[in-house]
Amino acid sequence: MTSTLKETKRKKARTPRRGDSQDSVYRFPSVRAIQAGRIYFVTACPLRLVPEVLTFAPADLPPEVRAQRALNKNRIPQIARYLTENPSSYVLSAITASIDAAVRFEEEGPLQNGGRRGDLVIPASARIHVNDGQHRREAIAAALRSNPELSDESIPLVLFLDAGLERNQQTFADLNRHAIRPATSLNVLYDHRDPSAELARRVASKVSPFQGLTELERSSLSNRSSKMFTLSAIHQSTVALLRKPPREISMDEEALVLEFWTALGKLICGWGIVGNGKTASELRRDYVHVHAVALHALGTVGGELMARYPATWNERLEHLAKLDWRRENRLWHGRAIRNGKISKAGPSLVLTANVLRARVGLKLGATEIAIEETLPEIDRV
């Protein structure tokens, strides 16, 4: 079955139907099947036709009379950039939509799974409402403006016959009912396009004590986990170290990244005691330095040190060697620890990093001072 879509003229006279008063049609080579008693069609649509044939309700309509969430315009440039920057390796999942006009299926033959193959003929005047994928639809339109060469590529479409607003709303709810974003650690593990993810994987595999003690699939650790760190925390901390957006990071910075984390691995008292009388869970219970907020603070301050003292940053880093990272140390309360629990909130990160800044001889900026002053005077650095 060809994946192209042909726009043709009707060759036979017919009785005009509502929403189909024109002679032109869209002809989709398709598979027709049944799901929960409803006929649906699976086809492919050239990207150039996506903005033309797919529609969705405007955001100014009240939510109760549309069948989609409001468009988040901030997502569109991100998806469009993904398409234009990865023209030979991008992946787009299917868009699900409903057709609000009468269609014709010109069957060519059966399939082994009970479906039928043939041409789905849709009046050009029909409205095809997006049930799931409006951001992909808008991003495709934006990407085509930047890279018209994408126009002959295609995206899968799953098309239902429109059964009214209530059914369309239910379709949206059902499609998103069980959607779960993968853990950030797993995204970092599987992302071979982002250099910052690759650097995080290198740190986890090459730097002691991260080796063998990094959780690669989950972004949080259970009390019984035998791991000390998460890959997502290493990634976040490494991005903070390099002080630039992930998209601007390159593998040329690998040597510097490995040097930094290797130096810390030797300096941080307690990182190397797993298996020497302490389990990973006990270490997480008793110390701050294995938690994401501490790693992030270390990366943040490390980046500031490298920028301020490019030739001597590693010497200044040695001042962290005697820092008491035990959770019982009052120094961390109100900072990395709030209400008796480790906190990853923004102020906690700043206040934790302030301790490190003071130790390595970095002055606090106006923002850091303002947040520091939220603590009792006796607890300030």
CA contacts within 13 A on the Cβ side of 117? 10
Which strand (E) or helix (H) includes residue 355? helix 346-360
- pLDDT for the residue numbered 276: 63
Mean pLDDT, the chain, whole residue set: 88
Residue type, 23: D
- pLDDT for the residue numbered 59: 66
Choose between 22 and 169: higher pLDDT.
Answer: 169
Task: Average the pLDDT over each of 132-146, 165-179, 189-203, 298-312 and give the range with the smallest value.
Answer: 165-179
Question: Between the CA of residue 179 and those of 135, 151, 324, what are the distances in Å?
Answer: 16, 29, 43
Please state the rounded mean pLDDT for residues 263-292. Answer: 84
User: Is the per-residue pLDDT at 95 higher than 60?
Assistant: yes
Percent of the chain whose predicted confidence (pLDDT) is above 90: 73
User: Is the per-residue pLDDT at 181 higher than 90?
Assistant: no
pLDDT digits (tens, 9 = 90+) for 220-238: 999 889 999 999 999 999 9
Helix (H, G, I), strand (E, B) or coil at 215: strand
Two tokens, residue 232: 């997502």
User: Is the per-residue pLDDT at 3 higher than 80?
Assistant: no
Please state the rounded mean pLDDT for residues 255-279. Answer: 84
Please state the rounded mean pLDDT for residues 119-137. Answer: 92
Measured distance CA(28)–CA(7) in Å, rounded:
9
Measured distance CA(313)–CA(315) in Å, rounded:
5
- pLDDT for the residue numbered 238: 98
For tokens 């740190």, what's the residue?
203
User: Is the per-residue pLDDT at 177 higher than 80?
Assistant: yes
Measured distance CA(135)–CA(127) in Å, rounded:
18
pLDDT class of 247 with cuts at 50, 70, 90: confident
- pLDDT for the residue numbered 280: 87
pLDDT digits (tens, 9 = 90+) for 45-65: 999 999 999 988 776 667 776
Helix (H, G, I), strand (E, B) or coil at 84: helix
Choose between 43 and 115: higher pLDDT.
Answer: 43
Percent of the chain whose predicted confidence (pLDDT) is above 70: 91
In sequence order, what are the residues at sequence separation of 6 or more whose Cβ sits closer than 8 angstroms to the Cβ of residue 146?
80, 84
pLDDT digits (tens, 9 = 90+) for 357-370: 999 999 999 999 99
Determine contact, residues 352/326, Cβ cutoff 8 Å: no
Please state the rounded mean pLDDT for residues 83-102. Answer: 93
Please state the rounded mean pLDDT for residues 301-323. Answer: 95
Please state the rounded mean pLDDT for residues 334-340. Answer: 95
pLDDT digits (tens, 9 = 90+) for 61-88: 677 767 777 788 899 999 999 999 999 9
Please state the rounded mean pLDDT for residues 124-139. Answer: 92
